[in-house]
C-alpha cells in the first residue's frame, strides 16, 4: 500500500511554457490524488514569490522553461531542505543551456551535431556552412523560438526572430532523419518514442495541437539501432549529471547514427506527453509513473 503523503505540485510559473506546465501539473495532481495523497497546487510567479503549503513533505516539479527548469527553483528548494522530483540545480542549469549541454556531450562522447552560436542579428552567414540549418534560442524549451533555415537568404530574418527569445542563439546542422525521444527513468532507458509530424517539423504548434503529430512507441528500429539510440541518450543524461529521470531528444540519421539534440530535465507530464507514453510502453501506468517520481525524490532525501 502506498504511504500517504502531503505533496505540493508546482505548476504554471513565469516562463514561455506556462500553459503547458499548467496542463502537466493538473494531470500530475489528479493522478497523485487518485493514489490517496493530499495534494496542494502552487503556481509560483518567480524567485522568492511563493510559500509551500503547511505540512508539505515533497514537491513535485511540473514546471517547464525558465525559473522552473534552469536550476533556480531547485536551489530554492534545496535551501529549504525540501525534497523535490527531478534533477539537482547544476544538472538543471546545464541541461537547460543547449550550448553547455553540447559541450558536455562532446566531453563525455555522446554524439551531437556540429554548431555555432550568435549574439547579434547583424551576424553574416558563417563561412564553411551550407543550409539547411536550425536556429534555437540557447535557453528555451518546447521549441520556443525554433527556426528552420533552408536558404542563406532566409538567415538574417530568422536569426533576428530567434534572438527575440534569448540573447544567444545556437545554429546547428539540420539532421535529416527520424526524430525520436528517449525517456530515462531510475537508471534505465525506456522504450524509444518516434515522433512524426503530419506536416512540417515538430515545432511548438505540432507539439501541442491534438492530432498534428503521430507517435510510435516502441519505435520500429532493429535491436542494434535501438541500443545505439538508448545508449546515446543515456550518455547525454549522464554528461549533464542527470538523476532520477529526464527525456533526451535524439535524431537518427538514415544510416542509424544517433545525434543527441537536447536533454529535458522536467519533460511534459500531460497524459499525452512523450515520457508517459514511453513509461506506458514499459508497463507503467501514468499514476505509477508519478508515484515513482515521488518515491525517487523521497528515497534520495531520506
What CATH number did the domain enclosing 202 receive?
3.30.470.20
When pLDDT is averaged across residues 127-133 and rounded to a whole number, the result is 96
Q: Are 182 and 234 in a shared domain?
A: yes
Distance separating alpha carbons of residues 275 and 3, to the nearest angstrom: 24
pTM for the predicted model, two decimal places: 0.92
When pLDDT is averaged across residues 169-177 and rounded to a whole number, the result is 95
Has 21 been annotated as catalytic?
no
Q: Are 156 and 291 in a shared domain?
A: no
Has 142 been annotated as catalytic?
yes
Which one from 17, 41, 179, 194 is the annotated catalytic residue? 17
Of 98-107, 211-220, 227-236, 289-298, the range with the lowest mean pLDDT is 211-220
Q: What is the mean pLDDT of the chain?
A: 94
Has 168 been annotated as catalytic?
no
Distance separating alpha carbons of residues 112 and 98, to the nearest angstrom: 11
pLDDT at site 144: 81
Has 17 been annotated as catalytic?
yes
Q: Report yes or no on 1 lying in a domain.
A: no
- Sequence-distant (≥ 6) Cβ neighbours of residue 284 within 8 angstroms: 292
CATH of the domain at 124: 3.30.1490.20
Distance separating alpha carbons of residues 230 and 242, to the nearest angstrom: 15
Q: Are 107 and 189 in a shared domain?
A: yes
Q: Report yes or no on 252 lying in a domain.
A: yes
| Percent of all residues in the chain with a pLDDT value above 70, rounded to a whole number | 96
pLDDT at site 227: 98
Q: Are 201 and 99 in a shared domain?
A: yes
Q: Are 67 and 17 in a shared domain?
A: yes
CATH of the domain at 62: 3.40.50.20
**Which range marks the domain in which residue 74 is found?**
6-86+286-301
Rounded to 5, what percent of the chain is helix, strand, coil?
Answer: 35, 25, 45
Question: H or E element: which one contains 36?
Answer: none
Structurally, the chain folds into a number of domains equal to 3
Distance separating alpha carbons of residues 302 and 3, to the nearest angstrom: 14
- In contact, 293 and 85? CB cutoff 8 Å: yes
Has 300 been annotated as catalytic?
no
pLDDT at site 256: 96
Q: Report yes or no on 275 lying in a domain.
A: no
Q: Report yes or no on 270 lying in a domain.
A: no
Has 19 been annotated as catalytic?
no
10-44: burial string, b at 16+ Cβ within 10 Å, e else: bbbbbbbbbebbbbbbbbbbebbeebebebbbbbb
Which one from 68, 247, 273, 286 is the annotated catalytic residue? 247
Has 208 been annotated as catalytic?
yes
Q: Are 231 and 291 in a shared domain?
A: no
Of 1-5, 73-77, 83-87, 162-166, the range with the lowest mean pLDDT is 1-5
Q: Which residues pair with 215 in a beta bridge?
A: 195
Q: Are 227 and 138 in a shared domain?
A: no
How does residue 57 score in pLDDT terms, banded at 50, 70 and 90?
Answer: very high
Which one from 67, 84, 208, 245 is the annotated catalytic residue? 208
Burial of 4 (0-12, 13-18, 19+ CB in 10 A): exposed
Which one from 15, 249, 273, 286 is the annotated catalytic residue? 249
Question: H or E element: which one contains 196?
Answer: strand 193-197
Q: Report yes or no on 168 lying in a domain.
A: yes
Which one from 15, 24, 142, 273 is the annotated catalytic residue? 142
The model's pLDDT over 257-302, given as tens digits with 9 standing for 90+, comes to: 999 999 999 999 997 899 999 999 999 999 999 999 999 999 998 8
Q: Report yes or no on 274 lying in a domain.
A: no
Amino acid at each position: 500500500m502506498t504511504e500517504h503523503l502531503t505533496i505540493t505540485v508546482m505548476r504554471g510559473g513565469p516562463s514561455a511554457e506556462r500553459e503547458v506546465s499548467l496542463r502537466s501539473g493538473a494531470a500530475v495532481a489528479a493522478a497523485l490524488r487518485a493514489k490517496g495523497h493530499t495534494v496542494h497546487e502552487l503556481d509560483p510567479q518567480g524567485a522568492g514569490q511563493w510559500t509551500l503549503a503547511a505540512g508539505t513533505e515533497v514537491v513535485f516539479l511540473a514546471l517547464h522553461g525558465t525559473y522552473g527548469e534552469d536550476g533556480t527553483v531547485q536551489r530554492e528548494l534545496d535551501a529549504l531542505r525540501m525534497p523535490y522530483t527531478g534533477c539537482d540545480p547544476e544538472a538543471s542549469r546545464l541541461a537547460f543551456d543547449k550550448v553547455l549541454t553540447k559541450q558536455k556531450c562532446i566531453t563525455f562522447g555522446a554524439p551531437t551535431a556540429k554548431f555555432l552560436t550568435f549574439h547579434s542579428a547583424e551576424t553574416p552567414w558563417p563561412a564553411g556552412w551550407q543550409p539547411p540549418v536550425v536556429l534555437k534560442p540557447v535557453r528555451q524549451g518546447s521549441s520556443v523560438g525554433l527556426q528552420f533555415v533552408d536558404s542563406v537568404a532566409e538567415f538574417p530574418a530568422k536569426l533576428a526572430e530567434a534572438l527575440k527569445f534569448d540573447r544567444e542563439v545556437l545554429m546547428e546542422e539540420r539532421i535529416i532523419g527520424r526524430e525520436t525521444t528517449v525517456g530515462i527513468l531510475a537508471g534505465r532507458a525506456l522504450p524509444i518514442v518516434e515522433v512524426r509530424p503530419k506536416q512540417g517539423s515538430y515545432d511548438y504548434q505540432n507539439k501541442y495541437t491534438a492530432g498534428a503529430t503521430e507517435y510510435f512507441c516502441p519505435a520500429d528500429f532493429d535491436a542494434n539501432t535501438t541500443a545505439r539510440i538508448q545508449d546515446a541518450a543515456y550518455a547525454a543524461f549522464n554528461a549533464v549529471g542527470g538523476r532520477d529521470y529526464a527525456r533526451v531528444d535524439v535524431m537518427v540519421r538514415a544510416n542509424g547514427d544517433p545525434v543527441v539534440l537536447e536533454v529535458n530535465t522536467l519533460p511534459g507530464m500531460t497524459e499525452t506527453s512523450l515520457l508517459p507514453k514511453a513509461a506506458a510502453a514499459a508497463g507503467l501506468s501514468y499514476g505509477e509513473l508519478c508515484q515513482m517520481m515521488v518515491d525517487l525524490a523521497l528515497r534520495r532525501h531520506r
